[in-house]
Amino acid sequence: MAATAAVLKSEWTKIRSVRSTVWTLSLAAVITIGLGLLISLLANNEFRKMPLQERLTFDPTYISFAGMGIGQLLMIVFGVLVVSNEYSTGMIRSSLAAVPQRGQFLFGKITIATLLALVVGEITSFIAFFVGQAMLGSHRTQISNPGVLRAVVGGGLYMALIAMFAMGCAAMLRSPLLSLSILMPFFFLISNILGSVSATKKVARYLPDQAGQKIMMVVTRNDGRPYGPWVGLLIMAAWVAAALLGGYALLKKRDA
């Protein structure tokens, strides 16, 4: 227990002493909240001009999270930097010399980073919701309404899981440049393209981001996803678990 506590303390010191990780988390929060505010304001102003079908399926909760698309990219950057910074600087050799039990080393790093991402994610999600609802005027919803609290809490969980997925991928790829060059286009472009093409749409529904985003939706939409919000989050969690197990397997097998 004492050794585990020392590893956790060491990883906490590493994360908070690196400016890039602190700034990345801060930007993720600011951009998610700011874009959610702006798009909620625009949605309120344009509501009467929307087609009838869009007005009937309008989800005031989900519109508050409109900035999540960019915010999740910054959470990916955070997850990649937490793991791969040590590889790019060569500090990984010293870290593994100090903590030769590689499972304990990776567990400590991911635990601290995940807790931090979860705290930031939940704070961001709640602020984005309340700010967004303030901008929606008469079209707003209340957090006490059915499904809304689940969606808001789920928004923070989604951000934390995205960061964890990035950590697992970075542990496998080791290089921050390689990790970001794969993950950023995938979540920003490829996932959306696959979800828009009829031939790949059914497969895309099970990608981590598209499955996980279901947790933030309150109004039922005919999006063709054959699962509910919690099952969607479990699908995303399965992707995260696979990435972390892959990262651990390769860390244990390879040299530093």
Tokens 């698309």 belong to: 69
Backbone angles phi and psi of 50, in degrees to 5 = -70, 150
What confidence score (pLDDT) does residue 5 get? 83
What confidence score (pLDDT) does residue 97 get? 72
- Contact predicate 53/138, CB 8 Å: no
What confidence score (pLDDT) does residue 51 get? 87
Describe the chain by its helix, strand, coil percentages, rounded to 5: 80, 0, 20
Q: What is the pLDDT of residues 28-77, one digit of tens each?
A: 999 999 999 999 999 999 888 888 888 888 999 999 999 999 999 999 99
Spatial separation of the C-alpha atoms in residues 19 and 123, rounded to whole Å? 20
Please report the DSSP string for 147-205 in residue order: THHHHHHHHHHHHHHHHHHHHHHHHHH--HHHHHHHHHHIIIIIHHHHHHSTTTHHHHT
Q: What is the pLDDT of residues 111-140, one digit of tens each?
A: 999 999 999 999 999 999 999 999 998 899
Q: What is the pLDDT of residues 153-163, one digit of tens each?
A: 999 999 999 99
Q: Is the pLDDT of residue 3 over 70?
A: no
pLDDT band at residue 105 using 50, 70 and 90 as cut-offs: confident
Q: Which two tokens stand for residue 232?
A: 């969607």
What confidence score (pLDDT) does residue 155 get? 97
Q: What is the pLDDT of residues 186-229, one digit of tens each?
A: 998 899 899 888 889 889 999 999 999 999 999 877 777 889 99
Spatial separation of the C-alpha atoms in residues 100 and 105, rounded to whole Å? 8
pLDDT band at residue 80 using 50, 70 and 90 as cut-offs: very high
Q: Is the pLDDT of residue 89 over 80?
A: no
Q: Which of 6, 187, 153 is nearest to 80 (CA)?
A: 187
* Average pLDDT score, the chain: 90
pLDDT band at residue 11 using 50, 70 and 90 as cut-offs: confident
